[in-house]
Structure 1
């Protein structure tokens, strides 16, 4: 299992460190610190399993992740995020996911923010027709010690989301049942986080629902493998300085029996056994810069 990202991705993580020292500038007329027009932030994470909407993208093994965001005082921002992949998550041969993100954040009040943007999911080195675009919108509000977020992500019809294989057996034989077909995907989710007073701990919860193609795309994977399903998690963050340790229980309602027609692709090691969407504990350590 490779735990080292390609050099290009590592460069993305390192670059924000070089410019972080410039995140506060001096006002020449008054000598007071003022917020800069452009800010750069980043993070690096080591996690025991990369779960995307409840489904393992790293074959239930460790993953190294990281990214950066460049924001402007107007509210516009761009960023990139990457992770290594394995098993089901390899998208036709890719060992890396690279997400390019752009969007706009607008404060609606002192306690509410609207975020609208687009994510381009890229799988360098993967099979043809693997990359896809997904728009998103989310509303975040603060109520006392709690932060609540509601969001929606919609990927319009694209070949990367189409049901080209009806079953995992067809994928093994290399027989397309509907080559070239396109499909879309909708994901709705809600997040909640609440700080525990007097401690560095914050309790967290997540729930989401996916609607998609219900089969295998041209890369023999899918972002909604059974067509529609729920995912959820419960956990906690412990923060010290710029480090955050998270422990979460993650699960979906995709049963082994329900996912059988997707095998062997949809399984640990892609050998036809092991439910990669079953319940698990995920531990991660994140350093923010």
Structure 2
């Protein structure tokens, strides 16, 4: 009986080991789905406030494939549709994007397209719509990334018409500070609007982000951020109907959670 019991135990252990070994050898899924949600004191996009200095709730959903292909959607509340663009109603931005990213040796690259959707009701005053389409390409090396966005839509974030062919170029750097969880960032960009020279501007940003996961499991996926942004955007062009200048120097704090 003892021998039979020992044999049963040994068989069970070998079976468990074989099962564990088989699970370890199973290839990981080529599909990855992730999500994020965040709160910011101000929604700044390329130096310009999208909320007129007010807070923003934001979130997104992303799918990526092992091949490098990806798709995603991201949304936020905005304020400029009614205050700057003359919409009767509209307070949301929804971005749909897709592309392909990979690397050649130490250089990473990303090629894709994005459609910025702004649901709302125009007032019929002749101002161009806000919906915008861009194609982009970027290259990165170590801590640095350069990106160029080319606009295919007749209107570019409400600037137009006949603004297709406009472009935005930016260079950014992101430097982790050892194993502290702190990352320092810097950015400079320039926006050139075709046929609307008064809208052209440069913007710059310095930032810091802290990975709360360094403080324990409760902070996993949580990032705290602070950034200072500024522009040389022409005040007369980039001021809302309520007198808010959208390109002024601003400090923004944020918190986000990735899933």
> What TM-score, normalized to structure 1?
0.71
Answer yes or no: is the 8 Å Cα contact 2:168–2:190 preserved in 1: yes
- 2:223·2:257 contact (CA, 8 Å) conserved in 1? yes
Measured after TM superposition, the shift of residue 55 of structure 1 is 0.6
Q: Which digits, 9 at most, give the CA deviation of each residue in 1:1-44, with x for residues without a partner?
A: xxxxxxxxxxxxxxxxxxxxxxxxxx997211643111011111
Q: Do residues 115 (structure 1) and 99 (structure 2) align?
A: no
**Matched length:** 225
| Aligned counterpart for 1:78 among listed residues 50, 71, 81 | 71
The CA distance in 2 between the partners of 1:129 and 1:137, in whole Å, is: 25
Q: CA deviation at 1:153?
A: 0.4
| Kept after mapping to 2: 8 A contact 1:149/1:191 | yes
| Partner residue in 2 for 1:259 | 235
| Higher gyration radius (CA) | 2
Among 212, 220, 239, the residue aligned to 2:211: 239
Q: What is the Cα deviation at residue 182 of structure 1? A: 4.8
Alignment deviations for residues 221-253 of structure 1 (CA, whole Å, 9 cap, x no partner): xxxx83321101001001112111110111001
> Alpha carbon RMSD of aligned pairs, Å?
2.4
Cα contact 1:59–1:88 (8 A) shared by 2: no
Deviations 1:143-179 (A, max 9, x none): xxxx211100000251456865xxxxxxxxxxxxxxx
* Structure 1 position 99 matched with structure 2 position 75: no
Runs of 4+ in 1 over 2 A off after TM superposition: 27-30, 87-93, 126-130, 159-164, 180-184
Residues 126/80 of structure 1: CA separation in 2 closer, same or farther (3 Å cut): farther
Q: Which stretches in structure 1 are left out of the alignment for 5+ residues?
A: 1-26, 165-179, 216-224
Structure 1 contact 56–88 (Cα < 8 Å) conserved: no
Q: Which residue of the partner structure matches residue 220 of structure 1?
A: none
Residue in 1 that maps onto 2:174: 193
